[in-house]
Amino acid sequence: MLLDILMIIGGIFILYLGAEGMVRGSKRLAISLGIHPLIVGLTIVAFGTSMPELVVSVTAAIRGSPAIAVGNALGSNVANLGLILGVAALISPMRVEDRTVRLEVPASIFAGVFLYLFAGNLDISAMEGILLIIGFLAFFFVALFPQIVKNVKVLPSELNLDLSNPLTQEEINEARASQTWVSDLLLIVLGIAGLILGADFTVDSAIAIARNIGVSELVIGATVVALGTSLPELATSIVAAIKNEPDISVGNVIGSNLFNTFIVIGIPAIITGYLPVERGVLIIDFPVMIGLSILVLPLLSSDRKLDRTEGLGLIVVYIGYILLAILRPQIMLIPQSVWPY
């Protein structure tokens, strides 16, 4: 048991290092090629921090542990909205761009409801997985592609950074000065290897721990694994809040949730043919995830900011979700006739 705990901690740490290495190498390579930092932020940074969730969920699904795959995706979304956004707001009250409130947060609510409807029959089919991927591509081309097209230009020698730019001037200068494509590519390869290795350790250990302590793999996936795979988002948001760049925290969280909902669920469903969903997910995890998404919208709409009191409230909601996850076996003892599924 102790060895399994150490392995899952080690696996999560390797996942974090792998994600950091892949994102750092990709950023440096892109900037050295003259790609505008905003484009890098909208693509590499936004998607790269969600790679641990994707690799873990794919690994779990392939190994016959779909509960970990589903719990990891939905639990990570709850952690992003409750814990990570809350912690970032406690550090520094967050102002958000109008586009985030008008487009990105409603898109995350729609994505959650969209997935909930698919999961109503207690599985996500391969065709539904394909539709999820299409949904993500639609969001990408509507929300992100216009920003990319607008900023397709050679990187200027001097760049004025603003809150919409998730890269620091030091990172840009370092990438310009290095011009070492080989080392950047090596960092990317090592990062990907770290993600794969870390996912192996994490999934194997999560399965062993669930069996040893007599809880479902879903509980482990939605709590320990989900929190561990959310470390890159947590680190990114904390750094952004400390540097008084709060919009990066909000964009990072919302972008990660959309990636988790569409891609982290969609790809395992396609690979395995279908992804079974436990009844408890429809009763606990989906309502909490969608409810938090809906709650965040008016909070961010109010003066386009999230203050410390609201951040504390989000953290309390996340703690409540963890308690629900722990009490899941008792909740599921309620007669099935009470629930709509």
Per-residue pLDDT tens digits for 175-198: 555 556 677 777 777 877 887 888
The more confidently predicted of residues 133 and 182 is 133
Average pLDDT over residues 100-104: 77
Question: Are 47 and 221 within 8 A, CB to CB?
Answer: no
Please give the Cα distance from 64 to 126 (Å, whole number): 16
Dump the DSSP string for 31-92: HHTT--HHHHIIIIIHHHTTHHHHHHHHHHHHTT-HHHHHHHHHHHHHHIIIIIHHHHHHHS
Taking the alpha carbons at both ends of the chain, their separation in whole angstroms is 35
The domain segmentation of the chain, as residue ranges, is 2-334
Average pLDDT, rounded, for the chain = 78
pLDDT at residue number 31: 65
Question: Are 4 and 209 within 8 A, CB to CB?
Answer: yes
SS3 340: coil
pLDDT at residue number 163: 39
pTM for the structure as a whole: 0.81
Dump the DSSP string for 231-266: HHHHHHHHHHHHTT-HHHHHHHHHHHHHHIIIIIHH
95 bridge partner residues: 305
Question: Are 209 and 12 within 8 A, CB to CB?
Answer: no
Please give the Cα distance from 183 to 179 (Å, whole number): 9
Domain 2-334 matching CATH 3.40.30.10: the answer reads no
Reply yes or no on whether the pLDDT at 332 is more than 90. Answer: no
Question: Are 328 and 269 within 8 A, CB to CB?
Answer: no
Question: Are 321 and 82 within 8 A, CB to CB?
Answer: yes
Please give the Cα distance from 69 to 71 (Å, whole number): 6
Please give the Cα distance from 329 to 131 (Å, whole number): 32
Q: Dihedral of CA 193/179/166/238: which sign?
A: positive
> Which two tokens mark 88?
């970032």
Backbone angles phi, psi at 157, to 5 degrees: -65, -30
Q: Could you read off the pLDDT of 320-330 as tens digits, one per residue? A: 999 888 887 66
Q: Which residues contact 238 (CB under 8 A, 6 or more apart)?
A: 87, 88, 91
Backbone angles phi, psi at 151, to 5 degrees: -110, 15
pLDDT at residue number 298: 85
Q: Could you read off the pLDDT of 57-78 as tens digits, one per residue? A: 999 999 888 998 999 999 999 9
